[in-house]
């Protein structure tokens, strides 16, 4: 039995260039907060809110979570997403301004992202798949530390990691949970993934690894009944897993838009000098 969590129809082609006239071609998607809802009302009144079938671009309103939710919801539409910050951190978002939105959209710089595909095998025999733009993370479910065997491209690299969890991050997600877990920041275009332990107990000094972007990662859960583990791809959570396989999704490519000189590569670089 397979739980279908991916949604959408994969389209490997790059998004089309934005038309010169965006009137009636912008779709807005707001987070479920009062601030984002108020912004949606004002922007929709100014520019209209096109059906997604007629849209050339999607504008996400909220924080970074809203950007991820928007990308997942419209996966396969082959539309670029431009975020405006009506949330908290807003690392993936642009500053909020109501005036001149079509001009900002046409001047925006694109960042192409390759998500990760997670496939899980659970204790009840089911399998599930999901995509992750930021990271796939494994987390212990109880007071017991997790025990996890790590394989890369089919070869055992770490027979047993005792920890609170572990994650595999894309470059775009390397400044999020990965950075909080003391993982490395990865510039876009380096074709690398970060594997970062969360509160590693044994081996105590293991800090993780940098992997090629095309690497295939497998996590096997040891003593799974005593030490249950959940797997999370962005905000999709699968509990009581036995095995997780992670690789780059070759059939999906996502596009985020950023104001000039504030593109995602610049933000990732600047984050490394933030104190």
8 within domain boundaries: no
Please check whether residues 151 and 175 belong to one and the same domain.
Answer: yes
Please check whether residues 149 and 81 belong to one and the same domain.
Answer: no
Please check whether residues 78 and 162 belong to one and the same domain.
Answer: no
Q: CA–CA separation, 40 vs 61, rounded Å?
A: 7
Among the listed residues 13, 49, 64, 261, the single catalytic one is 64
Give 270's strand partners.
none
Residue 225 to residues 13, 38, 122, 141, 201: CA-CA distances in angstroms? 43, 47, 11, 11, 20
Q: Edge-to-edge strand order for the sheet containing 127-132?
A: 2-4, 127-132, 116-122, 241-248, 217-222, 146-152, 155-163
State the pTM of this model.
0.82
Q: CA–CA separation, 39 vs 51, rounded Å?
A: 18
Q: In this prediction, what percent of the chain has a pLDDT beyond 70?
A: 94
Q: CA–CA separation, 64 vs 66, rounded Å?
A: 5
pLDDT value for 16:
58
Phi, psi of 36 (to 5 degrees): -70, -40
pLDDT digits (tens, 9 = 90+) for 187-228: 888 899 999 999 999 998 899 999 999 999 999 999 999 999
108 within domain boundaries: yes
More confident residue, 31 or 269: 31
Has 11 been annotated as catalytic? Answer: no
pLDDT digits (tens, 9 = 90+) for 24-77: 899 999 999 999 999 999 999 999 999 999 999 999 999 988 999 999 999 888
Residue range(s) defining the domain that contains residue 84: 14-114+253-271
Please check whether residues 66 and 98 belong to one and the same domain.
Answer: yes
Residue 13 has pLDDT above 60, yes or no: no
CATH code where residue 198 lies:
2.60.200.30
pLDDT value for 246:
98
Please check whether residues 148 and 91 belong to one and the same domain.
Answer: no
Residue 132 has pLDDT above 90, yes or no: yes
Please check whether residues 107 and 18 belong to one and the same domain.
Answer: yes
> Please, what's the b/e burial string for 148-158 (b: 16 or more CB within 10 A of its CB; e: otherwise)?
bbbbbeeeeeb
Q: CA–CA separation, 162 vs 157, rounded Å?
A: 14
Answer whether 59's CB lies under 8 Å from 87's CB: no
2 within domain boundaries: no
- Mean of all residue pLDDT scores within the chain: 90
CATH code where residue 74 lies:
3.40.50.10330
Please check whether residues 87 and 175 belong to one and the same domain.
Answer: no
Counted domains in the chain:
2
Please check whether residues 101 and 174 belong to one and the same domain.
Answer: no
Please check whether residues 49 and 160 belong to one and the same domain.
Answer: no
């Amino acid at each position: 039995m397979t739980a279908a969590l991916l949604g959408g129809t994969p389209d490997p082609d790059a998004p089309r260039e934005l038309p010169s006239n965006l009137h009636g071609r912008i779709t807005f998607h707001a987070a479920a907060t009062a601030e984002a809802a108020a912004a949606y009302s004002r922007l929709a009144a100014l520019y209209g809110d096109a059906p997604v079938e007629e849209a050339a671009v999607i504008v996400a309103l909220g924080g970074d979570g809203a950007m991820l939710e928007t990308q997942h919801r419209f996966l396969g539409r082959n539309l670029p997403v431009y975020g405006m910050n009506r949330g908290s951190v807003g690392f993936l978002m642009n500053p909020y301004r109501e005036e001149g939105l079509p001009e900002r959209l046409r001047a925006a710089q694109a960042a192409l992202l390759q998500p990760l595909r997670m496939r899980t095998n659970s204790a009840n025999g089911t399998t599930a798949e999901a995509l992750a733009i930021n990271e796939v993370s494994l987390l212990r479910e109880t007071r017991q530390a997790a025990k996890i065997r790590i394989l890369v491209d089919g070869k055992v690299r770490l027979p047993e990691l005792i920890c609170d969890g572990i994650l595999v991050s894309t470059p775009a997600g390397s400044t999020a949970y990965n950075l909080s877990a003391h993982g490395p920041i990865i510039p876009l275009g380096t074709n690398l993934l970060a594997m970062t332990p969360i509160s590693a107990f044994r081996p105590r000094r293991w800090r993780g690894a940098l992997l090629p972007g095309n690497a295939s990662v497998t996590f096997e859960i040891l003593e799974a009944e005593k030490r249950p583990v959940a797997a999370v791809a962005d905000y999709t959570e699968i509990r009581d897993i036995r095995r997780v396989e992670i690789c780059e999704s070759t059939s999906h490519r996502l596009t985020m838009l950023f104001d000039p000189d504030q593109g995602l590569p610049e933000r990732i670089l600047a984050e490394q000098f933030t104190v």
